[in-house]
Amino acid sequence: MMTRTRFAPAPTGFLHLGHVVNAIYVWGFARAQGAQVLLRIEDHDAQRCRPVYERALLDDLEWLGFEPDIAPAPAFRAGASEFRQSDRAAIYRDVAGRWIANGLVYGCTCTRHDLGELPAGADGEVRYPGTCRDRGLAPADGLVWRMRIDAGAERFDDIWRGPRVQDPASQCGDVAIRDRLGNWTYQFVASVDDHLQGIDLVVRGEDLLASTGRQIRLATSAGRARPARFGHHPLIMKSPARKLSKSDGDTGVRDLRAAGWTAPRLIGEAAWRAGLADAPEPIHASEVGRFFAGTRG
């Protein structure tokens, strides 16, 4: 089967230059490797995601010229889609149900406030200490559902960052797969979807590097025989300590479009800010593969 990667935005706001950088890496590396790009809408958080943001990001992607090989915009505008996470609840329930039957998932009463009181580790991450692991609470509405994560290393060779070893049990502890409001978590749905949708190449920002080992573990538990390849690219920053966010109007795709920017100019600006180009020269979406010619696959 042809290598398959994905562009997977969450419709919690409008696209900004950081998303464009990710699109350049996803489509550029895919084209250089002869891979397919799948579009997935990650709207698993019902409280934060909005249809208006989904429509906007589909419009912006089309305007930019980033056309997915699998699940283009009309596939979502037509109604329910197997590539929209809010339409995949039955799949997530099935996977979680199998884990529950095997004793791998338990109910947890710990709140965000409880976890916020815990000290962060050397890597800045708070590890769940297993408070509810042996309380015998069955997963139920109103509780967090946690997957048991036992000690053990996960090894992967990152495309841009080289060999890595992570032990999810010491990094984060047992992973939440469903929150107390009934939302499936990012760690869970991304791992399940990448497995079931045949994603064997994951290209994403370096802020998600620490998640890789736990997602490999979750995907393996869901039945994946061989982990995907991962590549984590640099982010463009608002300041040395602050990455771009969807609320940054000065870097929003829609704001720049309204100011008269063309799609090639915007893509060129993003490529320059990401260090892929020496100058902010216009470039079409169909040409971004040139940035990755010769990159190890």
Cβ neighbours of 279 (radius 10 Å): 7
Per-residue pLDDT tens digits for 185-211: 999 999 999 999 999 999 999 999 999
User: What would be the CATH architecture of the domain defined by 4-86+235-292?
Assistant: 3-Layer(aba) Sandwich (3.40)
Mean pLDDT of 64-69: 98
The structure's pTM equals 0.93
Q: Is the pLDDT of residue 75 over 70?
A: yes
Which of 140, 146, 189 has its CA nearest to residue 8? Answer: 189
How confident is residue 240, by pLDDT bands cut at 50, 70 and 90? Answer: very low
Domain boundaries, the chain: 4-86+235-292
Q: What is the mean pLDDT of residues 233-241?
A: 71
Query: Is 108 exposed, middle or buried, given 0-12, 13-18 or 19+ CB atoms closer than 10 A?
Result: buried
Range of weakest confidence among 18-27, 172-181, 237-246: 237-246
Contact by Cβ (8 Å): 159, 296: yes
List pLDDT tens digits, range 119-154.
Answer: 888 778 899 999 999 999 999 999 999 999 999 999
CA distance 106 to 100: 7
Residue 137's CB is within 10 A of a number of other CB atoms, namely: 16
First to last CA, the chain: 16
Predicted local confidence at residue 201, as pLDDT = 98
Taking the C-alpha atoms of residue 122 and residue 281, their distance in angstroms, rounded to an integer, is 40
Using a 10 angstrom Cβ sphere, with 0-12 exposed, 13-18 middle and 19 or more buried, the burial of residue 103 is exposed
